[in-house]
Chains A and B, each alone.
Chain A
Amino acid sequence: MKDSSISILLVEDDDVDAMNVKRAFKKVNINNPLHVAGNGIEALRMLRGEGVEPITPTPKIILLDINMPRMNGIEFLKELRADPELKAASVVVLTTSNEERDKVAAYDFNVAGYILKPVDPQKFIEAVTALEVYWNLIELP
């Protein structure tokens, strides 16, 4: 990414999926700092610095899984958009849920995109490449 200082938060409970993202980032040369939270609550704590060191700079891009323990992606989005400090973040949903109601709920909270996790690793690389192009194209606050 042209601005490699922008940090990215990945909210994902599955380690292999997290690894997958990391490997894909490496493959397409995204060298921005990547932080991983295991669920929505942990992600909020990390963003707000509750009980942990807050991430600095605050991530402007969040990759979000939907199905997670304790606080799922949709619940997290609700909290995020309600928080004036955090609501500007660009969120891309990265999930296995092909449920219509999840898609509708996610776009209701102004997500930048909704991507179904492909099984084929090669296809995931393609998706991450597209994201990199997108992130380079857009201007973030």
Chain B
Amino acid sequence: MRIGPKLTLSFSVVACLVIVVGSVGLRAALDTKESLMELADNSYPTVAALEDVRFYGLRIVTSTMEYIFLKSEQEAASGAGDSQDEAELELRENAIEPLNQSLDRYVDMVATHVHEEQNIEEEVVNAAALLGKGSSILIALKEAGESGEEILEAKERFENTEQVFLVAIERALKLENEEVQEVKNEVVDQVDQAIAITLGVALGGFIVAFILRSAMARSLSKPIQALEHAATAIGNGNLATQVNIDSKDELGVLAGAFNRMSRELSSTTVSRDYVENILKSIADALIVCDANGNITELNKSAEAMLGYDAGELIGTTVGRIIGGGSLAEVLTPASPDAANSARAETRFQRKDGGSLPVEVSMATLSDIENAPTGTVYIAQDISERLRSQQAIATKNEELARTNKELDQFAYVVSHDLKAPLRAISNLAEWIEEDLEGKIDDDIRKQLDLLRGRVNRMDSLINGVLEYSRIGRVAIDTNEFDVRELLDEVVDSMPVPEGCVIDIGDNMPHLSAPRVHLSQVFANLVSNAIKYCGREDGHVDISVSDGGDSYEFAVKDNGPGIAPEFHEKVFGIFQTLEARDKVESTGVGLTLVKKIVEECGGRIVVESDGENGTTFKFTWLKQLTERQAA
């Protein structure tokens, strides 16, 4: 049942009760009125009629008696006072008519209400008739001048009649009084009854209203209380709270809507507790400020990093703890398209006076109309990172210094090795010169071998010197045409007859350390010629555009390099042929690799070990600052 009809029903019941109570009271009032009306209409006129009957009866008696008395006096005084007895008779005559009228009224009134003794009115009427008759007899006797005795006798009888009459009147009056008393009792009874019924009905109504109230309380209050509890639970963060109301009324509908709302809330919204737990648990400091830059919230990590309690900071300006008030100057936008966020490396001012290096990300909060409502700062302790960066920088410096020292060492060692080597060479020469004509062919051959090995060692040392020079000695960057450079390189080396060197038509124009690229090509081309091993040698130099770099290739038709040696060929002092067969230092490709990599490129060798070899290397179109330096 819905609440509207329920309320209507309840109020209808109460209204009926009120009507019942009212009608009972009304009924009692009407009854009382009726009784009182009866009293007014019947008893009082009856009594009045009786009083009139008595009055006129007694007048007849009195006037009769007065006439008798006066007549007797007159007789004694011989005819005097005629007029007086005449008057008394007239008085008597005048009373007869009203007496009869009163009697008629009495009889009429008595007829309207039933007496227990039905004969009382007859008794009164008879007594009155007897009274009239007795009076007439007495007067007739007197006028007839009868003797005193007869008169006395008649007078006596008349007085008896009078007594009977008065008794009858008294009885009738008494009956009427009883009647009045009866009506009075009736009214009192009716009023008492009405009070009792009214009270009873009112009490009953109260009980019914109380029962209704309880029923309403059950059907209205309980669901409302359940809803209130659920709303409180949601307010406390338990978003999944459901209420269990089965009723079909509006509250049931409301509960259904409430449950849907809480389901939606729990699936689309996270509670404040949930968020606070997350914020508490994150290791980064989180500080929230209002639009004026005053701190409104901060998490445990922020307290720990700053050494303050939250209470000491809330309400104070954020500049007190971040960046010494100049945060805006150090902030840089987090990304070009994120105008409302920024990041900076700055320091937290701690309570103990110290400071802590942090990386701060800042985001502006705004309301629906895009007006700023506050700022969120997330700060990460970067002291460890700075230490690591410092350590890495130190290590890098050490490494660079070590590398430089190594290059320097290689240079000094090889330079110093050269002096005794030259001395050995010279001394061998001088021995041969000084023993001219005294040495046989064996000794001469041995001296030749000695000089040959000295020369090889000189070449090795020169290789190391050159190797150490790359990266140790800055080479100027020039603008040049690669085609011209290749022509120079080819011209400067002995090309055997029958060997063809093809240079691609699309060689680029470069801005680079020319000497380095020249060394690379010289080594690769001379290797191609040196290890060709056939009469119709063919070296093909080509280039392709690889975006930000060029890819150069030097391809020969020689015997190739087996894949297992592809890495090895770049190692220093590594040769694939015995040095006695092909004079080689084993430094050339090492040098090439070092130059290419110093200039930001890569070099690879491609060969199946049978059909020629291709060395491919990339060369940046634009050298970065480091590589240019």
Chain A residues at the B interface, C-beta cutoff of 8 Å:
14, 16-17, 19-20, 23, 67, 96-98, 100, 117-122, 124
Contact = CB atoms under 8 A, between A and B. Distances in A.
B389 interface: no
Given A98-B465, A121-B425, A122-B429, 5 more contacts: A17-B419, A96-B418, A96-B422, A120-B425, A121-B426
24 contacts: A14-B423, A16-B422, A16-B423, A16-B426, A16-B427, A17-B419, A17-B422, A17-B423, A19-B426, A19-B430, A20-B426, A23-B430, A67-B415, A96-B419, A97-B415, A100-B473, A118-B422, A119-B421, A119-B425, A119-B454, A120-B455, A121-B430, A122-B429, A124-B426
A9 B491 CA distance: 41
A105 to B, nearest CB: 15
A20 B418 CA distance: 15
Contact of B418 (A23, A119, A121, A122): A119
Contacts of A23: 430
Interface in B405-456: 415, 418-419, 421-423, 425-427, 429-430, 451, 454-455
Secondary structure at the B interface, as helix, strand, loop or mixed, is helix
Contacts of B430: 19, 23, 121
Interface string B40-68: 00000000000000000000000000000
A119 B455 CA distance: 7
Contacts, number: 41
A16 B429 CA distance: 12
What bracket does the count of chain B residues touching chain A fall in? 10 to 19
B458 interface: yes
A119 B415 contact: no
Contacts of B421: 119
7 smallest A-B Cβ distances: which pairs?
Answer: A16-B423, A121-B429, A119-B458, A119-B422, A20-B426, A119-B425, A121-B426
B473 A117 contact: no
A36 B194 CA distance: 161
A134 to B, nearest CB: 23
Nearest to A97: B415
A18 B163 CA distance: 204
Contacts of B465: 98
| A20, A119, A124: residue with the most chain B Cβ atoms closer than 10 Å | A119
Nearest to B473: A100
A2 B360 CA distance: 84
Nearest to B433: A23
A118 to B, nearest CB: 8
Contacts of A16: 422-423, 426-427
A123 to B, nearest CB: 10
Contacts of B419: 14, 17, 96
B420 to A, nearest CB: 8
Contacts of A120: 425, 451, 455
A112 B418 CA distance: 25
Interface in B448-479: 451, 454-455, 458, 465, 473
Nearest to A121: B429
A37 to B, nearest CB: 18
Nearest to A27: B433
Q: Which of B418, B419, B458 gathers most chain A CB within 10 Å?
A: B419
A117 B421 CA distance: 12
A100 to B, nearest CB: 7
Most buried by B among A17, A19, A121, A124: A121
A5 B454 CA distance: 38
A117 B419 CA distance: 9
A98 B473 CA distance: 12
Contact of A117 (B422, B427, B429, B454): B422
Contacts of A100: 473
A17 B421 CA distance: 11
Nearest to B412: A67
A63 B614 CA distance: 49
A98 B414 CA distance: 12
Nearest to A124: B426
Interface string B127-145: 0000000000000000000
A122 B448 CA distance: 13
Nearest to B459: A119
B431 to A, nearest CB: 11
B154 to A, nearest CB: 195
